[in-house]
Amino acid sequence: MPTRRAFLRRSLAAVPAALAAPAMLRAQAAVPGRKPAAKELAADLVIIGGGTGACAAALAAARHGLSVIMTEETDWIGGQLTSQAVPPDENALIETTGGTRSYQDFRTRVRAYYARSFPLTAAARANPALNPGNGSVSRLCHEPRVALAVLEEMLAPFVASGRVRVLRRHTIAQAFADRDRVSLLTVTNRESGHEIGLTAPLFLDATELGDLLPLTKTEYVIGYESRRDTGEERAPAEAQPHNHQAFTCCFAMDYLHGEDHTIERPHGWAFWRDHVPKLNPPWPGKLLDLFYSQPRTLKPFNYGFDPQKGTGLFRYRRILDRTNFAPGTYRGDITLVNWPQNDYMLGNLCEVTPAEAARHLDAAKQLSLSWLYWLQTACPRPDGGTGWKGLRLRPDIVGTEDGLAKYPYVRESRRIRAEFTVTENHVGTAARAKLTGKPEAEVSAEPFTDSVGIGSYAIDLHPSSGGDNYIDFPARPFQIPLGALIPRRMENLLPACKNLGVTHLTNGCYRLHPVEWNIGEAVGELAAFCHTKKEPPRAVRAKPALLADYQAQLRASGIPLAW
């Protein structure tokens, strides 16, 4: 069996670092004062990163008349919803509450897009709660391309008017900071190599790894904080900065009975075939197996897998159920594979060299391809046979040549050292019961007077690079405090996704689709408010009258501030 080190060394050699590593990891450190010789563009707001939070921020700012420049590393905006190929993870009440008005509009538009553009059955067309894939993870499991089309549609009026400019295939190169303010950012066109300077009164970091934070020398934290740092009972005694949740290279597949679509054996197959995760508490066996640790109990669990019947793991993130469409439209159902078995736990993409990032990214891709190969060739079937040869990789669904999503699904980012940090003690059900002396059934999350939105999800952490198995426990419906969006020192840089002031633990409930959308939208609204009032973001939280006016603006824009 190849050693882990030898396998990762071969993985690195197989993929050029410049292609495999997320391009943002190759950016340079902040440079005070000096400006590069480059074309410059100016706007009221510059957003680096084009993910879910970024799109919400751009929409909010543009609604209020601001000019916006948004960059995106790939050719698809939308992040989790599109380039990372992750169907929405949402709260149980999302059909009626728990999201902003614009997020609910996004969901409505997804259903309308299917009704307008797809040959739905009469029953599906008449269903106001249509779930295109009938997946069990969400009430709206849909294709990444549909999410992309809807986001483009929502932005279209602002793009057409010139209010929003989207620079696709652009990555952050340099940051220029003067004391506590960012003065200029430069981005590089990945196709031409040309560099552009971007200036604005306010900048948003909407990158998946919080890449502007080190570049601008904004104070931040990574990994697992210590109990002393956060006061969280579940935190370790000593900080573990390189202990991050697994990331995942997602992919789409369908199943065509009686056909053979077995892929070529991946070059990492020998390693992943025999790999047993070294976790505490232990994983039940080899990673490539139907048995895995049940997230809440950590006991061995087999959800099942039968693509012919569309049950178990196949149904879990199914994005297209052919029974919703006219007979003959699709030959098979389509599912997205973001499962325990293709979570990459052997390293991070954050705070590593470009070579290490390339190595881990290629290894994660090999894991996902090896998982598909195992399903095709070795997976036990109910009839006693092995392998589902009819499983077919679907590159067209994710828009890539290799069939894997354009960007890895990154669960954990650098996080700002904020004016206020949300901890387990503010939202965890058991922690709240202990602090208040109330039964768990009666507790609520800590109320925040500076709330800018709401969310709800369990504190759900996937196995980590530091050897932790799942950490999954209940949390109460919570608020998003403005203090978690304000860096302690930097004046004109704000987080717009999962890089806000949360901990390793509370990241587990603040990282989901509707919450990231709300974070981005609240920051976009804040940019517009500060532009009108001629006040810095920090003053909005510090001055009660400004905070009240800002919260009134949020409510008027359809952002609920409390459950």
- What is the SS3 assignment for 18-32? HHHCCHHHHCCCCCC
> Is the CB of residue 207 less than 8 Å from the CB of residue 49?
yes
Examine the domain organization and report whether 320 and 208 are in the same domain.
no
Q: Tell me, what's the pLDDT at 33? A: 52
**Domain around 459:** 220-242+412-556
Strand locations in 412-495, DSSP E? Answer: 415-416, 451-455, 459-461, 471-473, 478-481, 493-495
What is the total residue count of the chain? 563
Q: What is the mean pLDDT of residues 537-547?
A: 98
Examine the domain organization and report whether 383 and 505 are in the same domain.
no
Question: Residues 67-90: pLDDT tens digits?
Answer: 999 999 999 999 999 999 998 999
Among 369, 398, 427, identify where a domain stops.
Answer: 398
Question: Residues 2-52: pLDDT tens digits?
Answer: 343 443 444 333 333 333 444 444 455 555 555 554 699 999 999 999 999
Residue 405 located in a structural domain: no
Within 10 angstroms of residue 145's Cβ, the number of other Cβ atoms is 16
Mean pLDDT of the chain: 94
Strand locations in 279-366, DSSP E? Answer: 291-293, 300-302, 305-306, 311-312, 318-320, 334-337, 343-344
Opening angle at CA 45, ends 42 and 49, nearest 5: 105
Examine the domain organization and report whether 479 and 514 are in the same domain.
yes
Examine the domain organization and report whether 201 and 235 are in the same domain.
no
Examine the domain organization and report whether 167 and 188 are in the same domain.
yes
> Is the CB of residue 73 less than 8 Å from the CB of residue 169?
yes
Q: What is the pTM assigned to this prediction?
A: 0.94
Residue 459 located in a structural domain: yes
Residue reference for tokens 């009626």: 96
CATH number for the domain that contains residue 184: 3.50.50.60
Examine the domain organization and report whether 430 and 342 are in the same domain.
no
Examine the domain organization and report whether 252 and 325 are in the same domain.
yes
Residue 403 located in a structural domain: no
Residue 34 located in a structural domain: yes
Gap between the Cα atoms of 342 and 369, Å rounded = 9
In this prediction, what percent of the chain has a pLDDT beyond 90? 93
Q: Write out the DSSP string of 60-125.
A: HHHHTT--EEEEESSS---GGGTTT--PPP--TTTTTSSS-HHHHHHHHHHHHHHHHHS-B-HHHH
Within 10 angstroms of residue 563's Cβ, the number of other Cβ atoms is 17
Q: Tell me, what's the pLDDT at 32? A: 53
Among 363, 398, 433, identify where a domain stops.
Answer: 398
Residue 285 located in a structural domain: yes
Residue 562 located in a structural domain: no
Examine the domain organization and report whether 512 and 453 are in the same domain.
yes
Residue 521 located in a structural domain: yes
> Is the CB of residue 479 less than 8 Å from the CB of residue 468?
no
Residue 501's pLDDT band, with cuts at 50, 70 and 90, is very high
Residue 165 or 38, more confident:
165
Examine the domain organization and report whether 227 and 185 are in the same domain.
no
Question: Residues 432-479: pLDDT tens digits?
Answer: 999 999 999 999 999 999 999 999 999 999 999 999 999 999 999 999
Q: Report the number of distinct structural domains present in the chain.
A: 3
Within 8 A by CB and 6+ apart from 41, the residues are: 69, 165, 196, 197, 198, 199
Cα–Cα nearest to 475, from 515, 532, 520? 515
Q: What is the mean pLDDT of residues 484-498?
A: 98
Examine the domain organization and report whether 21 and 9 are in the same domain.
no
Residue 494 located in a structural domain: yes
Examine the domain organization and report whether 31 and 169 are in the same domain.
yes
Question: Residues 200-246: pLDDT tens digits?
Answer: 999 999 999 999 999 999 999 999 999 999 999 999 999 999 999 99
Gap between the Cα atoms of 400 and 75, Å rounded = 11
Is the alpha carbon torsion for 485, 80, 201, 162 positive or negative? negative
Among 347, 364, 398, identify where a domain stops.
Answer: 398
Burial 1-37 (b: 16+ CB within 10 A, else e): eeeeeebbebbbebbebeebbbbbbbbeebbeeeeee
Examine the domain organization and report whether 86 and 209 are in the same domain.
yes
